[in-house]
Amino acid sequence: MADISPSTSTDADTEDKNRFLNQQLCAVASDGSDRPKDQKTLRRLAQNREAARKSRLRKKAYVQQLESSRMKLTQLEQELQRARQQGIFISGSGDQSQSMSGNGALAFDVEYARWLEEQNRRINELRGAVNSHAGDAELRIIVDGILAHYDDIFRIKGDAAKADVFHILSGMWKTPAERCFLWLGGFRSSELLKLLINQLEPLTEQQLLAINNLQQSSQQAEDALSQGMEALQQSLAETLAGSLGPSGSSGNVANYMGQMAMAMGKLGTLEGFIRQADNLRQQTLQQMHRILTTRQSARALLAITDYFSRLRALSSLWLARPRE
């Protein structure tokens, strides 16, 4: 037993030393293999990590925006449902003759959100058909469906103007950037035609002449409506100013009530201005479709949608801008 014990202790110490040396050698080898060969590789790795981080942040912001939009739409639908339970009626598709009363602005916002969602679906279908070089017959069906869908929004806006003309006129149902270019509750047909001319090349001389004539006639109609609105505002201001003065006597009260009744009557003409402006927009789209070929009409509708999509995106970027 005395002879075995020292030998055993020495073997154990040797094994421990060998194990320690192997660990040191592994650590050194590992450090050498993981170290970047040069600063260029290190910078590339850092750039890749930063690009991946920014990509994750953009994806997170996009998901948050979608979730916020979904929650807002859900809230609007819930409020619309409560409004319906309280007796506010909104007619379905095909018959929009019933007036939206009480909570008309909210009802229109929900209807417009649904219309915009369906419009995006139709435009995506058209874009896919154009990219896949579909035939004219298939494109014509999709284009006619989109133009008919535009007719729906003009009809919905007409019903909404009966309930709350100021909501439609102010454009509060659109994004801030869209409101910046708003004219009588919508877009200017003449300005839209100017944008499309450069997007639809090449055009024949006959097509170019027809579009220029359409643009000029639209501009003249817009100027006439704008002058009518200015005259209405001036007349309304004069009517309201006529009721100013000392109050208290029965004569002044009667005069005040009479002038306010006149002002109310003049405000009733606002609905007519909205209707005429939408009729002009509707006719411009229809005449543009007659001038262009089916494939050109498809490209025009895609360009119009992309333009308004960029306006909405610009609004989102503006609202999300960093503030000091």
Q: Is residue 52 very low, low, confident or very high in pLDDT (cuts 50, 70, 90)?
A: confident
Report d(CA 321, CA 175) in Å as an integer: 15
Host domain of residue 192: 104-241+255-318
55 part of a folded domain? no
Q: Is residue 255 very low, low, confident or very high in pLDDT (cuts 50, 70, 90)?
A: confident
Give the SS3 label for residue 202.
coil
Report d(CA 284, CA 214) in Å as an integer: 7
314 part of a folded domain? yes
Report d(CA 265, CA 211) in Å as an integer: 38
287 part of a folded domain? yes
Name the domain count of the chain. 1
Q: Is residue 50 very low, low, confident or very high in pLDDT (cuts 50, 70, 90)?
A: confident
64 part of a folded domain? no
Q: Which residue's entry shows tokens 């405000």?
A: 267
97 part of a folded domain? no
39 part of a folded domain? no
> What is the per-residue pLDDT for 312?
92
> What is the per-residue pLDDT for 56?
84
Report d(CA 289, CA 161) in Å as an integer: 27
291 part of a folded domain? yes
Residue-wise pLDDT tens digits, 292-313: 999 999 999 999 999 999 999 9
The pLDDT > 70 percentage for the chain reads 75
The pLDDT of residue 162 is above 50: yes
The pLDDT of residue 39 is above 90: no
Q: Is residue 55 very low, low, confident or very high in pLDDT (cuts 50, 70, 90)?
A: confident
Report d(CA 200, CA 208) in Å as an integer: 10
Distances in Å between the alpha carbon of 207 and those of 127, 214, 287, 298?
23, 10, 11, 16
Residue-wise pLDDT tens digits, 256-266: 788 888 999 89
